Amino acid sequence: MSKSMRLVSVAAALLFSVSSASFAAEVPASFDAKSCKVDYPKASLMNEEQGTVSMSFLVNADGTVADSKVDKSSGFKNLDKAAIKGLSACKFKPGTKDGSAAQTWAKVDYAWKLD
């Protein structure tokens, strides 16, 4: 077997192992908005600020939040900060990988609305 033929077969084996790993059964963490309320920031209430913030939370296997980030702002920093801070303190339902609880990302949209 020539040297170039050996390199091609090694590359094909690496490609196969990477692609098969990406099909692992993963269920993302989830969040129940009814179980965790966040206080409306006082300044935002006075300024009548409303909007929806889209966030991502890295949730540990025990349901606690390891990391968080704003994916799309509500348009108001106070609302974004309050949503991240409040929801980071909430308990999530952990996600799973191959049937076992594991650290996964969860996407959450939180709507701030004045009544």
Domains and CATH numbers, the chain: 40-112 (3.30.1150.10)
Q: Output the pLDDT for position 88.
A: 93
Tens-digit pLDDT profile for residues 31-85:
777 778 889 999 999 999 999 999 999 999 999 999 999 999 999 999 999 999 9
Total-model pTM: 0.74
The 3-state DSSP class for residue 66 equals strand
Structure tokens at 36: 């965790």
For the CA atoms of the chain, what is the radius of gyration? 21
Residues in the chain: 115
Report which of 48, 87, 46 is spatially closest to residue 70, judged by C-alpha positions. 87
